[in-house]
Structure 1
Amino acid sequence: MTHNSFYHIGFGRDDLGSHPPTLALLSGDPERARLIAQEHLQDVRRLSENRGLNSYVGSLPNGRPVLSATSGMGAPSLSIVVNELVQVGIRQIIRIGTCGSIQPYVPVGALVISNGALCRQGAANDLAPIEYPAVADPFLTVALVKAAEELEVEHYLGITASVDTFYEGQERTDSANPYLMRSLQGITEEYRRLNVLNYEMECGTLFKMAGVYNFAAACVCAVVAQRTVDEKVILEQKDVAVKNVIAVALRAATSLIQ
């Protein structure tokens, strides 16, 4: 760690070497960031594990340098990490996440590639007006779709509901708080009828940051819950789904032009 390290991510430009990465693979889970780095990248070097925001630098099979970094859970944490990553030179970000499907035809184990987000996130409101579009970069998104097709992984392209809370905000009542405000009662069915595919907690703010900060962002998530059936995460199928989402993101990343 150098003297010019950023407070939250725990490293700075000088820590990235003579050929610094401009692409980051961003996971909410620090263990996923570690797994991507240690099992899929070459010449891996740990940059920081500050505050659980694990970051590693390595290279893809084609030699391109890349960061595997942790955003933490939710938009406020992600907004801090992404701001600092942009300051160290990152210009492309692919979020590799998990999500819950709200459409009956999008099963657990499949992937959702977000081309835009219904953004119901307070952090995003500090970036731009609520009407500001939360859209993915088309080139990164096409790369993800092509990678999923080539790997023959079941995937769906569409709109994601990006919300701030896991329980109330996604209309879960099987929790410490079984009461939902009237504004949230029936929200999942409303989103389903609007052809929203899934719930997650980060990409809306990521997409708005990309527009405001002028970088490219995309998001691919493994479906680990089927909300038309149950509120719970299906742990038995999570490992395979996460393995597939990592494989698709890495293949897409390898195909990109620097």
Structure 2
Amino acid sequence: MATSTIAPGLPRARPRSREFMLRSISPVALLLIWEVSSRLGWLPSHILAAPTAISVSFWDLLESGELAGHLLVSLGRALSGLAIGVSLGVALALFAGLSRGGEYAVDAPLQMLRTLPSLALVPLFILWLGVGEQMKITMIASSTVFVIYQTLFSGIRGVDAKLVEAAKTLGLNRYEMIRFVILPGALPSFFVGLRFALGISWLSLVVVEQVNAISGIGFLANDARDFSRTDVIVICLLIYALLGLAIDMLVRWLEARALAWRPSFIGGPAT
């Protein structure tokens, strides 16, 4: 019997390309309906600008450098607040997770503070810190610290007790046990918390940039609202979404390398 000369990978490529085409039909159709509705006047520009108008406005903002300037300001705020929140959350989680005394000291107050809506703290932060950059960065940090603390604390306390006993049997001291057993075991939980914290930091950024901001993507959206520029508002929303996706992909990449030692389930074969 004659054997097939088709390369093994080729039969798989066709279903994947076909699946991609099928998944693209509905988004493309929605864009076409959106564009046609705008051109026929069914969807006025003050309600929602056409995709072509949004593309032109995006290019104009990009070419003028205005978009890049506001984007850098927003990234600086988000990353500064996130760095403070993650650092504080990690420190508190280690203090509470590695000792009973630390848990008794900080866990109950943090659990109470965690239940407070972050938006309810905005007026208090304004009274304490004014409406400048300090308030904005503090707001983002306070929104992210609790999720980092909660996930890392749970990860530390969730380390398999058998591994701890094995480490003691091998003669590891407390420092070595923390470094080689407990922290690596809690690392997956930390990355889960980090991904949640990133999402929360973007939500907080949207809120704080509505408060007396003179730069940033939120300021750009507010300014566009005053002039009924729905095209610019959509651009700002897309930037928030794409930046959130890009940072989440970066964390996934870091997680894959940091946890390369840990086998994990990645899903069954595509059908």
Structure 1 and Structure 2 fold alike (TM over 0.5): no
The interval holding the TM-score normalised by the smaller chain is: under 0.3
* Larger CA Rg, structure 1 vs 2: 2
Q: TM-score, normalised by structure 1?
A: 0.26
Higher strand share: 1
